[in-house]
Amino acid sequence: MTAALRELARLRGIATDYTTDRGHRVTVPPDTLVAVLAACGVDAATDASARAALADLRGDARGGGGAGVAKDGGVAGDRRGGGVAGDRRVGGDARDRRVGGDARVGGVAGVGGGGGAAGGGALPPCVVVRAGSPARPALPSHAQAYVALEDGGRAAPSDPLPPGHHLLHVTHAGQDRTVPLLAVPDRIPVPGQRSWGFLVQLYSVLSRRSWGMGDLGDLAGLAAWSGSALGAGFVQLGPLHAMEPGPLPDPSPYRPSSRRFPDPMHVRVTDVPEYRQLTGPARAEAESLAARARELNDGVLSGRTLIDRETVRALKHRVLRLVHAVPLAPARRAAFEAFTAREGQDLTDFATWCALAEVHGGAWRSWPTALRDPRSAAVAAARQEHADAVAFHRWLAWITDEQLAAAQRTAVEAGMDIGLMHDLAVGVAPEGADAWALQHCLAAGMSVGAPPDDFNPHGQDWGQPPWRPDALAAEGYRPLAALLRAGMRHSGALRVDHVMGLFRLWWVPEGRSPSEGTYVRYDAEAMLGVLLLEAHRAGVHVIGEDLGTVEAGVREELAARGVLGTSVQRFEYLGGSEGRHGPLPAARWRTNCLATLTTHDLPTTAAWLTGEHVELRARLGLLTRPETEEKDEAAAERDGWLAELEREGLLPDPDGEAVALHRFLTRTPSRLLGVWLPDATGDRRPQNLPGTATVHPNWRLPVADRDGRPVPLDELPGRPGVQTIARVFTSGAPHRTDR
């Protein structure tokens, strides 16, 4: 690795080495650095090109004033460590570095906290300050500046600024410059009282009225019942993001086409007002399709078939095209037009991509060349050519949004303190709608993943393109704000998957193994600030999924800003990198977190207690060690926890060990307590078995009982196990519904 390449990577926030979860230092291959730099628009393929790029970067910094701005939004010039994992300090070494007076968490991409360069006063592509504090950018002598506030007002840069997306205008030497200025909250409030709720994958919660998978009508029903009858305060959902059209070889909701819009396959068709107005042949066709959907639903609930999203979506789309032809009443038309005005270009892009995907397939990189650019004249012409399809997909987005809003209203009316808790996936499919519309903000040829660790010794490649730090800064973080706003609109809380990605992400060059990736640093003050700004506006709480390898300082920074963490019993142990030393006592769990026993990626509690999760992996040929060794380790883990329950006085329990484990959660100080719904029914099957694609029916199982018989939503209230676990948290006391 040449000195120029190393320094260039450092200045761009790209780690040249990192520390594993076991404390080992690993040097990143030079080819990886070259590939990552290329994805950020920097040519470092040869030593000469790397030196030229470095000189250009330094020359630009000197001309613009030194440390503040790198040419395409690179890291501020004095960032030692450049985001290297081993430097364990938040934002490189900048935790106490005050950029522009008030930024506390360091950054990448010349974005840090309103800071101009020290010396010449060049502006970064985006200024970020804490709300209530002045911007105080370092400006050239005799420069004139003002802040155009989001609400139309005007302020001086020295004035305390309200939260919002503002603009900083600077005039100097006859030249005008305008950059985004984000005033972000110092922190957001955490829930004021303890609350509990069910954790569900919506597709798996079917009722007798469903069309083959759980829908938004089922969600409203689940919220109404669990809130009013059981005293639950929230329902945490898996992602409801829009999926790719056509076949779904990977039905994971965590690899969506768009995080900006929910998928219309979650709509309850019969609840769309215009459905009831169908007449004549359209009505007859709709009823015929509905009958087929009911047969599909019966097959799933009887256990004969698995959940089949493709068929469900196809049936719903056929009926919804008939419904779309029904003219909207004046009030409905006004509501639809207000929705399209609010969603603007994002909705136009999404609907256009959907329409083009119906013609050319869902992989936009294989479309005709002129259609790969969403701003091309060819796309504009195609939008006119397929205007009916574009209008249909706009309408689908609207009715989905309406039903999401109705589900949240139902949850609140049932007395829930939080209501719906939506889930924001860490990224999107590389050929999907968001990757097409936002390709200028995503790193082409890169994929997000994780380095090798104890959980996965080969590392992980999630097949999703990461944000480019420099491009996000140049956009004033508007794309990030838009998808956050969408996820928070009809919710009381947002769960952010892999929240550590606000600080750094593991980038894997296309065609290489995950072990050949590296960490790329983001401006945490900007990324986290945008998250808090949108949460502040929406009045929602934020839960960060901070499981796995987390660099030192990140959890502390998130907690200081009001972002709750995630604690899962299977990972809560005493000790650290030296190894586990027994279960973490309940009193030592985090207060500001969502505490659960398991997740969608882990064995259910029933399977974990019996060791069936090891037997399943053995049957599928997934074990990497002898089965007896795996079983002994699993039994030792279980027995350790049962001993902890005995120490807490929770065993023996007349209701069994699974209930005792839930009682253990109530002994923790955690503000939010989550119950995996399949645990309440005794289900032994995992919803997802990581590392498998065809040998296990991932993301296709309905909630079932201990024998694998599906349990409809309609029958949940009568299930003794559900009632028993609910009483653990509330003693059966319902919420008041007259708030």
Q: What is the dihedral of CA 482, 484, 489, 491, to 10 degrees?
A: 170
CB 480 within 8 A of CB 467: yes
Beta-strand runs (E) in 216-281: 234-237, 241-242, 258-262
Give the single-character DSSP code of 196: E
CB 638 within 8 A of CB 608: yes
Choice between 42 and 116, residue whose per-residue pLDDT is larger: 42
pLDDT of 576 reads 59
Tell me the average pLDDT across 422-428. Answer: 97
The pair of structure tokens assigned to 91 is: 């934002």
Q: Which of 446, 614, 451 is nearest to 548 (CA)?
A: 451
Q: Give per-residue pLDDT as tens, 165-179.
A: 999 999 988 899 999
| Identity at 734, one-letter amino acid code | P
pLDDT of 21 reads 76
CB 493 within 8 A of CB 543: yes
CA 331, CA 228: separation in Å to the nearest integer?
31
Choice between 109 and 340, residue whose per-residue pLDDT is larger: 340
CB 356 within 8 A of CB 382: yes
Tell me the average pLDDT across 52-80. Answer: 48
Residue 718 has pLDDT above 70, yes or no: yes
Question: What is the number of alpha carbons within 13 Å of residue 136 lying toward its C-beta?
Answer: 15
Residue 732 has pLDDT above 50, yes or no: no
DSSP reduced 3-state for 564: strand
CA 441, CA 458: separation in Å to the nearest integer?
28
Taking residue 159's Cβ as centre, other Cβ atoms within 10 Å add up to 14
Q: Which of 449, 492, 440 is nearest to 471 (CA)?
A: 440
Q: Give per-residue pLDDT as tens, 376-418.
A: 999 999 999 999 999 999 999 999 999 999 999 999 999 999 9
pLDDT of 114 reads 37
Residue 360 has pLDDT above 90, yes or no: yes
Choice between 97 and 670, residue whose per-residue pLDDT is larger: 670
φ, ψ for residue 348 (rounded to 5)?
-60, -45
Mean pLDDT over each residue of the chain, to the nearest integer: 89
Residue 86 has pLDDT above 60, yes or no: no
Residue 733 has pLDDT above 80, yes or no: no
CA 615, CA 603: separation in Å to the nearest integer?
11
Taking residue 294's Cβ as centre, other Cβ atoms within 10 Å add up to 15
The pair of structure tokens assigned to 729 is: 């948290």
pLDDT of 57 reads 81
Determine what percent of the chain is predicted with pLDDT higher than 70: 89
| Identity at 338, one-letter amino acid code | A
DSSP reduced 3-state for 169: strand
Tell me the average pLDDT across 15-34. Answer: 90
CA 307, CA 570: separation in Å to the nearest integer?
28
Residue 246 has pLDDT above 80, yes or no: no
pLDDT of 607 reads 97
Q: Give per-residue pLDDT as tens, 575-629.
A: 855 567 899 999 999 999 999 999 999 999 999 999 999 999 999 999 989 999 9
CB 497 within 8 A of CB 421: no
The pair of structure tokens assigned to 304 is: 């004969």
pLDDT of 581 reads 82
- DSSP bridge partners of 236: 199, 421
Task: pLDDT band for 61, please (50, 70, 90 cuts).
Answer: low
Q: Which of 200, 691, 259 is nearest to 462 (CA)?
A: 691
CA 434, CA 261: separation in Å to the nearest integer?
10
Residue 105 has pLDDT above 90, yes or no: no
pLDDT of 1 reads 83
pLDDT of 453 reads 78
Total length of the chain: 739
Angle, vertex CA 115, rays to CA 113 and CA 120, nearest 5: 170
Residue 119 has pLDDT above 50, yes or no: no
pLDDT of 696 reads 93
Tell me the average pLDDT across 657-681. Answer: 97
pLDDT of 122 reads 67
Of 246-255, 258-267, 415-424, 583-592, give the lowest mean pLDDT range.
246-255
Residue 83 has pLDDT above 60, yes or no: no
Task: pLDDT band for 700, please (50, 70, 90 cuts).
Answer: very high
**End-to-end CA separation in angstroms for the chain:** 64
pLDDT of 60 reads 58
pLDDT of 20 reads 82
- DSSP bridge partners of 179: 168
481: enclosing H helix or E strand: helix 478-488
Q: Is 327 exposed, middle or buried, given 0-12, 13-18 or 19+ CB atoms closer than 10 A?
A: exposed
Residue 100 has pLDDT above 60, yes or no: no
CB 15 within 8 A of CB 82: yes
pLDDT of 249 reads 72
CA 442, CA 425: separation in Å to the nearest integer?
16
